């Protein structure tokens, strides 16, 4: 089969001929329908830390149709549609009992080979997609699940004032779940106007570009300082800004993947009595909730996709994405184009 391989920092991904995956015990093989590219893929290939070994496959936001079933797998049939968890824990330790597989105390197993024609997935980490969900949307389950858990943890009231910093796919996924909860008083704060239309496509029409007057603009639109700030920009300086913008006793929810130190002034946090917390990925229940949400409002989620390319065009599109060129939404790869 064909798939994308990372060879070295500074080199584009390579379209390689790889052995067809065979399912081991407890595994399934799927024909990949779509796989998303995300910021963590850029981090993993940038040399800024947590860089993948040479020869690694990529792709952790994907789904498809079951084409092979390994030993000991029950409840799955050829032709079933699924979205795969990219990380699967041991299933019985204290970490796994949180429901978040990446917190496994033992070695979790990675299934990050979605940027290929076929991929192996763990049957324990597979979420069945209703037949009403198009396989085209199967790659959106993972990024949507990130927003699902963050909104669930923040638990805003329907009339809450909410600010999302960073209207990329994760910020937009937060917007998607806020709207599903009926939280309408939401502003998106961006460093530029590049994603204005993208956000509007998902109902995020209250869009403020960062400036000296942004704080006042946000408060005017929301009718006060935000109760909750979702940080989905992942750049240094953003937490200090979030403390400046949030209301006293407000909540700041960190989602951005920033590998650099981001200094905060503790006295400012203290003086506002703020709560700051982070949310790492999702639980399996969040994954299942996404499958249902896609069945109900797939068209809204699909609005975050700005580009779909085949494997041959993917390395160049990946580098464009790294440079911040393009629509600024989700880049999907369809390995069969």
Which residues of this protein are in contact with Zn ion, per CB under 5 A? 38, 40, 89-90, 93, 95-96, 104, 106
Smaller CB separation from Zn ion, 186 or 281: 281
Residue 238 Cβ vs Zn ion, minimum distance, rounded to whole Å: 19
Measured CA to CA, the distance from residue 119 to residue 216 in angstroms comes to: 49
Q: How far is CA 317 from CA 116, 134, 321, 322, in A?
A: 15, 24, 6, 9
Smaller CB separation from Zn ion, 39 or 226: 39
Smaller CB separation from Zn ion, 174 or 222: 174
Residue 217 Cβ vs Zn ion, minimum distance, rounded to whole Å: 30
Measured CA to CA, the distance from residue 127 to residue 118 in angstroms comes to: 17
Residue 326 Cβ vs Zn ion, minimum distance, rounded to whole Å: 17
Smaller CB separation from Zn ion, 222 or 255: 255
Residue 293 Cβ vs Zn ion, minimum distance, rounded to whole Å: 17
Quick check: 3 and 32 in contact, CB under 8 A? no
Residue 222 Cβ vs Zn ion, minimum distance, rounded to whole Å: 29
Residue 40 Cβ vs Zn ion, minimum distance, rounded to whole Å: 5
Look-up of token digits 């969040």: 286
Smaller CB separation from Zn ion, 95 or 298: 95
Residue 127 Cβ vs Zn ion, minimum distance, rounded to whole Å: 16
Residue 33 Cβ vs Zn ion, minimum distance, rounded to whole Å: 17
Can you read off the two tokens belonging to residue 226? 């935000």
What is the number of H-type helices and E-type strands within the chain?
Answer: 9, 18
Measured CA to CA, the distance from residue 248 to residue 280 in angstroms comes to: 25
Look-up of token digits 């650099």: 260
Residues 6+ apart with CB under 8 A from 177: 144, 147, 148, 150, 151, 152, 293
Smaller CB separation from Zn ion, 89 or 328: 89
Residue 95 Cβ vs Zn ion, minimum distance, rounded to whole Å: 5
Smaller CB separation from Zn ion, 76 or 257: 257
Measured CA to CA, the distance from residue 173 to residue 51 in angstroms comes to: 26
Residue 223 burial (C-beta neighbours within 10 Å; 0-12, 13-18, 19+): exposed
Quick check: 137 and 162 in contact, CB under 8 A? no
Smaller CB separation from Zn ion, 147 or 156: 147
Residues 6+ apart with CB under 8 A from 149: 279, 281, 282, 283, 286
Measured CA to CA, the distance from residue 221 to residue 217 in angstroms comes to: 6
Measured CA to CA, the distance from residue 67 to residue 52 in angstroms comes to: 28
Smaller CB separation from Zn ion, 70 or 95: 95
């Amino acid at each position: 089969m064909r798939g994308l391989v990372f060879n070295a920092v500074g080199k584009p991904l390579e379209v390689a001929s790889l052995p067809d995956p065979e399912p081991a015990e407890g595994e399934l093989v799927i024909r990949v329908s779509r796989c998303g590219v995300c910021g963590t893929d850029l981090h993993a290939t940038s040399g800024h830390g947590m860089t993948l070994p040479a020869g690694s496959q990529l792709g952790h936001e994907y789904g498809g149709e079951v084409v092979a079933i390994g030993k000991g797998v029950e409840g799955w049939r050829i032709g079933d549609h699924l979205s795969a968890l990219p990380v699967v824990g041991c299933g019985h330790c204290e970490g796994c009992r949180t429901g978040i597989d990446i917190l496994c105390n033992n070695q979790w197993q990675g299934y990050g080979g979605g940027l290929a024609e076929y991929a192996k997935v763990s049957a324990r980490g597979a979420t069945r997609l209703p037949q009403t969900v198009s396989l085209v949307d199967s790659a959106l389950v993972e990024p949507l699940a990130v927003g699902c858990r963050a909104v669930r943890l923040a638990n805003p009231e329907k009339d809450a004032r909410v600010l999302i910093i960073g209207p990329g796919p994760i910020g937009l996924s937060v917007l998607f779940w806020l709207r599903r909860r009926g939280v309408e008083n939401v502003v998106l704060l961006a460093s530029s106007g590049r994603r204005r239309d993208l956000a509007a496509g998902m109902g995020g029409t209250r869009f403020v570009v960062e400036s000296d007057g942004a704080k006042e603009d946000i408060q005017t639109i929301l009718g006060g300082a935000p109760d909750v700030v979702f940080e989905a920009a992942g750049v240094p300086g953003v937490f200090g800004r979030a403390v400046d913008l949030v209301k006293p006793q407000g909540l700041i929810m960190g989602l951005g993947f920033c590998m650099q130190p981001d200094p905060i002034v503790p006295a400012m946090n203290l003086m506002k009595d703020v709560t700051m917390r982070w949310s790492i990925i999702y639980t399996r229940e969040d994954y299942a909730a996404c499958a249902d949400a896609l069945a109900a409002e797939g068209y809204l989620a699909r609005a975050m996709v700005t580009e779909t390319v085949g494997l041959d065009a993917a390395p160049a599109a990946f580098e464009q994405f790294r440079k911040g060129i393009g629509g600024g939404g989700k880049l999907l790869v369809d390995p069969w184009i």
